[in-house]
Amino acid sequence: MRLIILDDASTVADWAAQFVLQRITQFAPGPGRHFVLGLPTGGTPLGMYRKLVQFHKEGRLSFKYVTTFNMDEYVGLPREHPESYHYYMWNEFFKHVDIDPNNSHVLDGNAPDLVAECHRFEDLIQKAGGVHLFIGGIGPDGHIAFNEPGSSLVSRTRVKTLAYDTLDANKRFFGNDMSKVPRQALTVGVGTVMDAKEVMILITGVHKSLALAKAVEEGVNHMWTVSAFQQHPQALFVCDEDATLELRVKTVKYFKSLMVEHNKLIEIKR
Ligand code: F6R
């Protein structure tokens, strides 16, 4: 696992976007050769999306031959609801780039058969040849996608009933009315993300520092589902200084000493 420690959230956004640019450019997608990207929603990746849109507008990055799979979606929320992940992805990213909407997959939380929808999503990932790079974010409790504490670390895409803490945390997006927060969501499993060839997790803010410490310095534990990525062969955690506050000084110094190597990951060789 690589831990990339950067000054602040905006540097994390820039570094992450540069990494995506590097990976897609190096892959050289084209007809019949799509780069497959897994994507999160939330506050953390917004800066990265803005930067990717900028790269696209500057003519440095095309999504024409990129296929995307999103991590999760609420159940029963209309697509056009401002808190739906369909709405978020369309407004924050897809509508600003040249991706073919047929290639940008977001779970359908209004499907008549939710279990079948989850299987369909896993099948689509298989048919696309698997995910090259899955980007994720985590919650302060170490959840990735909607894989809350105690989720199986080999889980696949499925329907999840959300924990009270999640409903409470999300009520701010629903007029502070807990009764308006969807009770269920569809989410990729930890195993689904683990199958990606490469995983990049973005972690910013002091409120995520305990989760980062659990993920990096302690053992693999289903109570901190992000810790599963210790066992991924190509996982990158990209964080800001604030998120390192619960790490040991020794851990921070160690990973910082590797920054020259880490920065080679975002060099674009022509
Ligand atoms: C997003 C997702 C979640 C978020 C996490 C952090 O699709 O599945 O894991 O990444 O809840 O959210 P923010 O970035 O808003 O702190």
Confidence of residue 46 (pLDDT cuts 50, 70, 90): very high
> Is residue 80 pLDDT above 90, yes or no?
yes
Task: Write down the mean pLDDT value for the chain.
Answer: 97
- pLDDT mean over 144-163: 96
Q: What integer pLDDT is reported at residue 178 of this predicted model?
A: 92
> Is residue 268 pLDDT above 90, yes or no?
no
Q: What integer pLDDT is reported at residue 269 of this predicted model?
A: 79
Which atom of ligand 1 approaches the CA of 146 most closely?
A: 8
- pLDDT mean over 58-64: 98
Distance 72 CA to ligand 1 centre (A): 10
Laid out side by side, the sheet with 158-161 consists of: 72-74, 184-187, 158-161
Distance 32 CA to ligand 1 centre (A): 31
Helix 46-57 crosses helix 9-27 at what angle (to 10 degrees)?
A: 50
Active site residue: 117, 122, 141, 195, which one?
Answer: 141
Q: What integer pLDDT is reported at residue 140 of this predicted model?
A: 93
Residue 143 annotated as catalytic: yes
Cβ–Cβ under 8 Å, residues 22 and 265: yes
> Is residue 163 pLDDT above 90, yes or no?
no
> Is residue 166 pLDDT above 90, yes or no?
no
Which atom of ligand 1 approaches the CA of 145 most closely?
A: 8
Residue 105 annotated as catalytic: no
Q: What is the pTM of this model?
A: 0.97
- pLDDT mean over 8-25: 98
Q: What integer pLDDT is reported at residue 169 of this predicted model?
A: 81
Give residue-wise pLDDT tens across range 171-199: 999 999 999 999 999 999 999 999 999 99
Cβ–Cβ under 8 Å, residues 211 and 224: yes
Percent of the chain with pLDDT over 90: 96
> Is residue 164 pLDDT above 80, yes or no?
yes
Give residue-wise pLDDT tens across range 237-247: 999 999 999 99
Ligand 1 pocket test target in 12, 39, 41 with most atoms within 8 Å of CB: 41
Please give the span between the terminal C-alpha atoms of the chain, in angstroms, as a whole number: 27
Provide the token pair at 165.
């803490």
Give residue-wise pLDDT tens across range 98-130: 999 999 999 999 999 999 999 999 999 999 999
Residue 177 annotated as catalytic: no
